[in-house]
Chains A and B, each alone.
Chain A
Amino acid sequence: MLTLENVSVNYGAIEALNGISLHIEQGEVVTLIGANGAGKTTTLRTITGLLEPKSGAVKFEGKLTNGIAAHKLVALGMAMSPEGRGVFANLSVRENLEMGAYLRNDKKGIADDMERGFAMFPRLKEREQQKAGTLSGGEQQMLAMVRALMSRPRLLLLDEPSLGLAPLVVHTIFEAIEEIRSNGTTILLVEQNANAALHHSDRAYVLETGRIVMEGNSKELAANPKVKEAYLGE
């Protein structure tokens, strides 16, 4: 579904990604783990078109997407819940979701998807008319995820969905990820919480200073002594 071939990205003179290659197949949950500054967010921003690669190829469903503007990629079928949630604090919860469905015109379908999102996170329903800026961090994360789903993406990219959230909320978020996956959406999950990420994914890539240093089945990686030492704190 998605492949990155030898992708390098620079921020000015600083090299953020140094020739990374990865692939995601239809229906998979793939996670990208690594320390702060390893290039996880840069990878997602490159996939969604917010950044342009210096070299290499990004292909979504066989189509080369390098240099295609971010807003056009949404129409191709990908959506992201960005780092720091990126909710529109000045818009109501409902309006945020309407923005998620910006490219759609099927009122009925939009309303149904909104109800589905509210069913996933009933707390959002309670806060439907509230400004998103008044929500708690966990609620904002829920909103960012449902908002991304509003475009009916085939590929959902999640950037640090558990960052800064209380353990109970983290649990809710990962349950939702399982639910989204069971509906057939492919997911690329970027996480610092390697434990949870490996537990809830099929395959994983480990990113270190802009390079992929390990990849494989999530269960196997979770059992790998190097991963355990560096990322699982064991």
Chain B
Amino acid sequence: MTLDSGQQEKMDTFIQQIINGLTIGSIYALIALGYTMVYGILRLINFAHGDIYMVGAYAGFMLATALGFAVNPSVFGFIVTLLGSMTIAAAIGMAIERFAYRPVRKYSKMTTLITAIGMSLLIEYLFVFIFSGTPRSFPQLLPNENYTLFGNATISTSQILIFVVSLLLMIFLQWIVYQTKIGKAMRAVSYNINSAKLMGINTDFVIAFTFALGSALAAAGGVLTAQYNPKIEPLMGIITGLKAFVAAVLGGIGNIPGAVLGGLLIGAAETLVVGYGSYIGVPSTYRDAVAFAILILVLLIRPAGLLGTNIQEKV
């Protein structure tokens, strides 16, 4: 089949939209994993999780600036910034669990949920207080180039970076959860916490570990996003966090592959609406509404999500 130039252009645009969609979808997936793991283990929607993504971006910003990676882009600088930011976020995530959630865990789930909402606001405005609400420009840690794929569709270094790093992190997570002792303990705790205690599993440690893991992935999402779209500001985690949460629900909350699938689908749906929504009367300014329209549909049609098996309780 040969395409005339008009068709070729449409095809290129479509491929470009899909690449862009999967780029942003990979970020949603990284954040959604944290929502879904914490939910799986505590039945808690950790509303502060989106803010950890922002904290990760700021931690990366501070590191890259302080260590001089901003002026000399290098692979080494990128890796140090990424791992440093993930470590800082993991520590903050564990601290939030230890000092905010654990003390109220013995009360109702609603108490923990409200604590999470409070924690989210606290982090957001603490960062506004420290860094002001003015957006900062995240330094480019690697030289960014555009590569032409099919026809006129292009992919940038930062997009490739997002795909490769997300994929590696997801493989790493899969390995932890399914092959390691702590991962098996995580799955045991998520199924039956009292039985897990009877095995000698320190469930508080497993819960803290889960927060650390989820927070590190969100921070990676923050640093990666900042390579793609360098504007960072203290409230950047709100809308992205909510969309990642929708991604987790779409995939089936508590389900790890579901979070990845949900993230990619939300990302793709969003860019497709930007690209083609106008044909069906949906202006591109509705891009942020897409995720929530999907959320409503999921809750109406398949509340357990695409890969979920049980109907989960409402929060």
In contact, B201 and A71 (Cβ under 8 angstroms): yes
Tally of A-B Cβ pairs under 8 angstroms: 67
Give CA–CA (A70, B192) in the complex, Å: 14
* A38 in contact (CB, < 8 A): no
B residues within 8 A CB of A88? 187-188, 191-192, 195-196
- Which chain A residues in 177-202 approach chain B with CB under 8 Å? none
In contact, B181 and A102 (Cβ under 8 angstroms): yes
* B199 in contact (CB, < 8 A): yes
B residues within 8 A CB of A50? 194, 197-198
In contact, A86 and B192 (Cβ under 8 angstroms): yes
| Extra inter-chain contacts (13) besides given A71-B201, A75-B200, A88-B196, CB under 8 Å | A50-B194, A50-B198, A69-B197, A71-B199, A71-B203, A74-B198, A79-B198, A82-B194, A88-B191, A91-B188, A95-B184, A102-B185, A102-B200
B-binding residues in A (CB < 8 A): 48-50, 69-72, 74-75, 79-80, 82, 86-91, 95, 98-100, 102-103, 147-148, 151
- Which chain B residues in 247-274 approach chain A with CB under 8 Å? none
Give CA–CA (A89, B195) in the complex, Å: 11
- Which chain B residues in 137-163 approach chain A with CB under 8 Å? none
A-binding residues in B (CB < 8 A): 181, 184-185, 187-188, 190-192, 194-203
In contact, A99 and B188 (Cβ under 8 angstroms): yes
Give CA–CA (A89, B191) in the complex, Å: 7
Q: B194: nearest residue on chain A (CB-CB)?
A: A50
In contact, B197 and A99 (Cβ under 8 angstroms): no
In contact, B199 and A102 (Cβ under 8 angstroms): yes
In contact, A70 and B198 (Cβ under 8 angstroms): yes
Of the A-B pairs whose beta carbons lie under 8 Å apart in the complex, a sample of 7, sorted by A's number, is: A79-B198, A86-B198, A88-B188, A90-B187, A98-B181, A102-B185, A151-B200
Task: Say whether, besides A88-B187, A88-B192, A90-B187, A100 and B197 are in contact (CB < 8 Å).
Answer: no
In contact, B195 and A71 (Cβ under 8 angstroms): no
B residues within 8 A CB of A74? 198-200
In contact, B191 and A147 (Cβ under 8 angstroms): no
B183 to chain A, nearest CB (A): 10
Give CA–CA (A79, B197) in the complex, Å: 10
In contact, B197 and A71 (Cβ under 8 angstroms): yes
In contact, B191 and A82 (Cβ under 8 angstroms): no
In contact, A91 and B194 (Cβ under 8 angstroms): no
Task: Say whether, besides A50-B194, A82-B194, A86-B192, A151 and B187 are in contact (CB < 8 Å).
Answer: no
Q: A96: nearest residue on chain B (CB-CB)?
A: B188
A182 to chain B, nearest CB (A): 24
In contact, B195 and A86 (Cβ under 8 angstroms): yes
A197 to chain B, nearest CB (A): 21
A residues within 8 A CB of B197? 49-50, 69-71
Q: A100: nearest residue on chain B (CB-CB)?
A: B199
In contact, B191 and A99 (Cβ under 8 angstroms): no
Give CA–CA (A71, B205) in the complex, Å: 11
In contact, B188 and A71 (Cβ under 8 angstroms): no
Partner of A91, one of B187, B201, B203: B187
In contact, A48 and B198 (Cβ under 8 angstroms): yes
Give CA–CA (A74, B195) in the complex, Å: 12
